[in-house]
Amino acid sequence: MNNTPFSLKQFGSILMFGAMLVLAGCGGSGGGSSGTSTGTMSLRITDAAVDSAEHVYVQFHGIELQSADGKRTTLNYCEDPMDATKTIVSADACTTSLKSKQIDLLALNGGLADFLLDSFTLPSGHYSWARLMVDTAGTLDSYIVVGGNDFELTIPSGAQTGLKVNRGFDVPAGGHADFTIDFDLRKSVMLANNGYMLRPTLRMVDNTMVGAIAGTVDPSLIPSGCTPAVYVFSGAGATPDDIDTDNTNPDPVTTASVNPIDGKYTAAFLEAGDYTVAYTCDAAADDPAVDNTADNTVTFSNTATVTVTANSTTPHNFP
């Protein structure tokens, strides 16, 4: 057995080696996107429908992401070099031509969603916000169809600043982040100056932490001429209110259209917790620019409290 004691030089070498191991273990774990590690992110878009239109098209040409350290990542929609009819996402300038992604938001309700990003690789870390870059300068890029007629959508500052979602999120190193942006059209579409304006109300949720409420409305609650909808408000025992500029009672978190034929509805992408649900037959009369509660234009009934659990659907019927 060798009992020769360590020299100071040998002890210093061991300390240096240990420090190198610690530093190697810490690599890529800092906030923001400045680390060298990566993760993947999926970003979908969904919609709470509006009753006054047949289609609502919004055209996107890219997404901007701001990391916590101030670094900005721009993702462009480009023409797929293998198929000119398709769109790909690139973190660099397009090697082919730009090819915007046009989505009919009105088709995305009742739990349906479309991908803006599909498992796209990004630097891992914390991000402060996301911005959806929209097209508004052309003809029939972002527009609404009402009564079979096309109307351009005016989006205030949309062409200059995009649609910003002020919600922080994390892309885990070696992991996957999965989010959905709820583009609530019932809150967002307004009639102004003989045209239509889109002032988006965007809600971003973590898909691993959301559930849904679904059920049916009794046919007796859907008479002729009714535009049925279910409004979902945050918290138990909330007072139902229309969507308006009056902040006395909070606006709904989301709304769900009711199929007038079978009475089915689904309110999806709700974070776990308690909600107040209420039914109305006056959804088409709900103008977000006007407080309709004062003259009872929008009335509610069958109010109840429902608890949502992540990754499950809570049933609730309106009898």
User: What one-character-per-residue DSSP string does 45-93 give?
Assistant: EEEE--SS-SEEEEEEEEEEEEETTS-EEEEEEEEETTEEEEEEEESS-
pLDDT at residue number 216: 97
pLDDT at residue number 188: 77
How far apart are the C-alpha atoms of 181 and 41, rounded to whole Å?
Answer: 13
pLDDT at residue number 12: 43
Task: Determine contact, residues 283/242, Cβ cutoff 8 Å.
Answer: no
Structure token pair of residue 278: 């209420």
The 10 Å Cβ neighbour count of residue 44 is: 19
| pLDDT tens-digit map of 152-211 | 888 776 545 568 888 899 999 999 999 999 887 777 777 766 678 877 778 899 999 999
How far apart are the C-alpha atoms of 45 and 80, rounded to whole Å?
Answer: 21
More confident call, 282 vs 109:
282
Task: Kindly indicate the confidence band of residue 272, based on its pLDDT and cuts at 50, 70 and 90.
Answer: very high
> For tokens 């040409």, what's the residue?
61
Which candidate, 221, 198, 87, 201, places its Cα nearest to that of 144? 198
**What's the rounded mean pLDDT across residues 32-38?**
60
pLDDT at residue number 204: 92
Alpha helices in 68-168 (DSSP H): 158-161
How far apart are the C-alpha atoms of 74 and 62, rounded to whole Å?
Answer: 7
